[in-house]
């Protein structure tokens, strides 16, 4: 029966890359039983196969190399149990993280499909639930660089940048909407969709009725749609009940084509008493 196997043979037998076996040798995780000093060839004995099986098993469970080194340094039942329980905890954490990412992806797909397929230029009365937002009262004049305002929002509210994409909104104060000053925004905000998204400062937009309109374009093209909403309000005996909400649903973060931009305006309303 063959006693020693070359690194190439072990690589094929165990489906482990030669580069990985050399790395295991280098760090002391699995050193060849014999090394030919003249040829520098590495040879493994059959007694080392069980250790390699264990390495493959633990690696398949996601354990990092440094934990494998710890295990083989003090190889016993208690050490293995500790490693496995620790890895189980880590897997649970990753599962929660992936579930959160899956929710974000599903929500984003729904938002984009909704923006693409919703008829444009039509006014609809809708009831929105309460919205948690990271809010910054900050005057922004149409035409100015909005990225500076976004950077300030991130800094002031200590917002995690990775939750920023696609949730940015602007507000025009009720007073400015009534005065037809549609180029002067009073605040910038970010909608917080997940419970674990926290900032140092947030407010709640209460659940209430809105008039909603969506149009092709972005903030510079919003003025005629505000006027359309105000005309509708007068016709149906509504009055504005708070600041507007203006969100670009499809913008440069999604497409390079300006013709595909879609923006939504929401005006909170109440019946004139």
Contact 133, 189 (CB under 8 A): yes
Can you tell me the distance from the alpha carbon of 9 to that of 30, in angstroms, rounded to the nearest whole number? 15
Domain 119-271 indexed as CATH 3.40.50.720: no
At 198-250, the pLDDT tens digits run 555 677 888 999 999 999 998 889 999 999 999 999 999 999 999 999 998 88
Architecture of domain 4-75: Orthogonal Bundle (1.10)
Q: What is the pLDDT of residue 134?
A: 78
Can you tell me the distance from the alpha carbon of 179 to that of 127, in angstroms, rounded to the nearest whole number? 25
Output the six-digit token pair for 271.
Answer: 């019946």
Tell me the pTM. 0.70
Domain spans of the chain? Answer: 4-75, 84-117, 119-271
Q: Which of 226, 223, 257 is nearest to 116 (CA)?
A: 257
Per-residue CA distances from 265 to 63, 112, 204, 239, 249 (Å): 50, 16, 18, 16, 10
Q: How many Cα neighbours within 13 Å face the side chain of 78?
A: 1
- Averages of pLDDT over runs of 10 residues in the chain (273 residues) are 86 94 94 85 91 93 92 88 92 92 87 89 93 77 66 62 62 93 87 63 84 93 95 94 91 83 94 81
Q: What is the pLDDT of residue 163?
A: 47
State which H helix or E strand residue 117 sits in: helix 77-117
Q: What is the pLDDT of residue 213?
A: 96
Output the six-digit token pair for 243.
Answer: 């600041």
Q: How many CB atoms neighbour CB 186 within 10 A?
A: 19
């Amino acid at each position: 029966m063959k006693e020693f196997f070359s690194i190439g043979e072990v690589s094929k037998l165990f489906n482990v890359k030669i580069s990985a076996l050399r790395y295991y040798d280098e760090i002391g995780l699995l050193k060849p039983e014999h090394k030919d000093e003249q040829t520098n060839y590495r040879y493994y004995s059959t007694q080392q196969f069980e250790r390699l099986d264990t390495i493959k098993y633990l690696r398949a469970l996601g354990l990092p190399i440094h934990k494998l080194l710890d295990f083989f340094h003090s190889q016993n039942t208690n050490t293995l149990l500790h490693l496995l329980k620790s890895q189980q905890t880590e897997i649970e954490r990753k599962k929660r993280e992936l579930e959160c990412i899956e929710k974000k992806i599903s929500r984003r797909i729904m938002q984009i499909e909704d923006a693409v397929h919703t008829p444009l230029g039509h006014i609809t009365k809708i009831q929105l639930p309460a919205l948690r937002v990271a809010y910054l009262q900050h005057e922004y004049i149409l035409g100015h660089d909005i990225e500076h305002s976004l950077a300030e929002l991130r800094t002031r509210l200590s917002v995690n940048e990775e939750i920023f994409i696609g949730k940015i909104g602007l507000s025009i104060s009720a007073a400015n909407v009534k005065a037809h000053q549609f180029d002067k925004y009073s605040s910038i905000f970010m909608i917080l969709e997940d419970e674990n998204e926290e900032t140092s400062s947030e407010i709640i937009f209460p659940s209430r009725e809105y008039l909603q309109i969506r149009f092709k374009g972005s903030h510079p093209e919003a003025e005629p749609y505000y006027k359309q909403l105000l005309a509708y309000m007068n016709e149906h005996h509504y009055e504005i009940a708070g600041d507007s909400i203006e969100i670009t649903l499809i913008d440069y973060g999604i497409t390079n084509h300006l013709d595909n931009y879609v923006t939504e305006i929401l005006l909170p309303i109440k019946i004139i008493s």
